[in-house]
Amino acid sequence: EEQTIEDGLKQIEKRMKNEGQNYHGIGKGKNLIVIQVESLANFVMFRDYDGQEITPNLNKLASSPHSLYYNNYFQLIGKGNTSDAEFVSLNSLYPSMEKPTYFQYADNKFYGLPWLMRDNGYTAWAFHGYKRDFWNRDEAYINQGFERFIAEDNFNFTEEIGFGITDKDFFNQSMFYLNQLDQKDENPFFAFLVTLTSHNPYEMPEEYQKINIKEEHKDSLTANYLQSIHYTDEAIAEFIQNLKDNGLYDDSVIVIYGDHFAINAGLETEEEILNYLLGRPYDYDMMMNIPLIIHVPNENLGKTITTVGSQLDFYPTIANIMGYENTKGITFGMDLNNPIRENYVFPQTYLYKGSFISQDYMFQFSRDGVYENSKVINRFTRREEDINKFMDVTSRGIREIDLSDYILKNNYFMEYIK
C-alpha cells in the first residue's frame, strides 16, 4: 500500500538514531576545518603517472596513522555542480534537479552542519576566492548557517590562473582570517574552505607544470588535470604546514574531499592516457568516485574505509566525529563509521534517477525512465548482469529522492525546527 509522505519522513528520521560508537566525539571541542577541493577525483590518489606520484601530499595525509581515508565515496550533485556538492555535504539532503539548490531554495530554512556546530558554541565561516554572488553563495550561505563569507573581494592577488586566485594565495591569505577566528573567543570554529585552481580545463602556466608528460599524451585534458591537481596537492600541504606554524594544527580536525569528477567518462580524446594511467577502462563509477580524508591529529586512526558512501553521508559522519547529535533536522545519509544498514548511492546526474552504486554493483537506470532498458554491471568483474533483482533498490532510491525533494519544496524545516 502507499505510504504517506509524513510516514516516509518519520522512517528516515527514525533511522538517524545511531549509537555511533566508532570514533564518536574524537574531534570534540576541536576546530573543524573542511576543505572542499575543486575537481579532486579519487583516481589520482595513490597513483603514479610514468613513475611520478600525482598527489604525494594527499597520499601521505590519507595514509597517516591519524587519518581515515574513504576510497569508496562518491559525488552526489544536481545542476549546481560545486555548489550542490557543498549543499549535499553540509545538509545530507539530495540536491534539486530543477535548478542549482543554492538558487532555488536560498531562502529555505536549513539545519545543516554549520547550524549544528553553531548550536554547540562554534563560530562558522565560509571561504572561497571567487565572486561573492557566484552560485548565489552570498545569499545561500546565510540560511546555511555561515556567519561570515570570506570571498574574492577579501583577497589580494597579482597572479591569476584559470578562474582567478591561486590555491596558494587563497590558503595563505585565509590564514589571516583563521588566526582571527582562533583569537576571537574561547570557542572553537568551523571553517569551510572551497578551492578553485584545479578547475576544468585545468590549464596551468608552464612553471607550474611539474609532471613530465609523454609526447603522445601532451595537451590532453587529463594531462592538464594531472598538472593542476598536483599543484593543488602542494598548496594543501603548505596550508597544513601553515596551520602547524600558527599553532592551529593540534586543535583542529582537518577534512578534505573532492566536489565532483574531473574528467567526463566517454571522452575519446582521453581514452589513451586514461587507459595508460589506470590500466582499466574508465567508467561512471570511477568518474564519480571522489576521496574523503578525515585527519585528527594525535588520534590513532590509520584506516581505509571501504564502505560505499557519498556526499549525502558527510554530515552524519562528521557530526559523530565531532561528538554532536543532530536532533533538529532530517538527514538522509548514514554515518560511514557506524554503518547500520547496507548503503546505496543514488545519483541523479550522469547516472539518472533510479540508478545506484552499491558495494558490488553500478545500476544505470535508463535515461528514458523505462526500467527494462536499464543495465547493471558488477563493479568487480565489469560484466553485465540481470537487472531483475534490483527493482526494489531502485524504487527505494526514487522514493528517498522524492521525500528529500518534498522537504525542499515545502520548506519543511520552517515549521519543523523550533
Q: Using the rule CB under 6 A, is 134 a contact of ligand GP9?
A: yes
Closer CB to ligand GP9, 81 or 343, in the complex: 81
Q: Which is nearer to ligand GP9, 291 or 329 (CB)?
A: 291
Q: Rounded CA gap, 202 and 228, in Å?
A: 6
Q: Which residue is nearest to ligand GP9 (CB)?
A: 81
Is 416 near ligand GP9 (CB under 6 A)? no
| Residue (138 or 147) nearer to ligand GP9, CB | 138
Where would I find the beta strands (DSSP E) of 11-158?
Answer: 31-37, 48-49, 52-53, 67-74, 123-128, 148-150
Distances, alpha carbon 264 to alpha carbons 275, 288, 327, 349, 393, in Å: 14, 9, 39, 12, 26
3-state secondary structure of 307: coil
Q: In Å, how far from its chain's centre is CA 83?
A: 10
CB of 151 to ligand GP9, least distance (A): 9
Residue 82 interacts with ligand GP9 (CB under 6 A)? yes
Binding map of ligand GP9 across residues 311-350, x = CB under 6 A, - = no contact: ----------------------------------------
Site for ligand GP9 in 135-154 (CB under 6 A): 135
Give min distance, CB of 290 to ligand GP9, in A: 13
Shortest Å distance, C-beta 128 to ligand GP9: 6
Judge whether 269 counts as a catalytic residue.
no
Contacts of residue 215, Cβ cutoff 8 Å, sequence gap at least 6 = none
Using the CB atoms, write b or e for 208-237: b if 16+ within 10 Å. Answer: bbebebeeebeebbbbbbbbbbbbbbbbbb
- Cα angle for residues 175, 180, 185 (degrees, 5° grid): 140
| Shortest distance, position 48 Cβ to ligand GP9, whole Å | 26
Residue at grid coordinates 540536491: 95
Minimum distance of ligand GP9 from residue 126's CB (angstroms): 12
Considering only residues 81, 91, 108, 232, which one is a binding residue for ligand GP9 as defined by CB under 6 A?
A: 81
- Any known ligand binding at 7? no
H or E element: which one contains 191? strand 189-194
Q: Is 259 annotated as a binding residue?
A: yes
The x, y and z cell numbers of residue 180, run together, are 582571527
Query: Is 260 one of the annotated binding-site residues?
Result: yes
355 near ligand GP9, judged by CB under 6 A: no
CA distance 17 to 15: 5
Placement of cell 522524492 in the chain: 402
Residue of 55, 82, 307, 331 with catalytic role: 82
Q: How near is the Cβ of 144 to ligand GP9 at its closest, in Å? A: 15
The reply, when asked if residue 38 is annotated as ligand binding, is yes
Among 158, 103, 167, 154, residue whose Cα is nearest residue 133: 103
The mark string for 182-221 relative to ligand GP9 (x by CB under 6 A, - otherwise) is ------------x-x--x----------------------
d(CA 102, CA 126) in angstroms, rounded, equals: 14
Residue ranges at the known binding site for substrate = 199
Binding-site residue set:
38, 82, 199, 259-260
Q: Which residues are catalytic?
A: 82
Known binding residues for Mn(2+) are 38, 82, 259-260
Q: Which residues bind ligand GP9 (CB under 6 A)?
A: 38, 81-82, 130, 134-135, 194, 196, 199
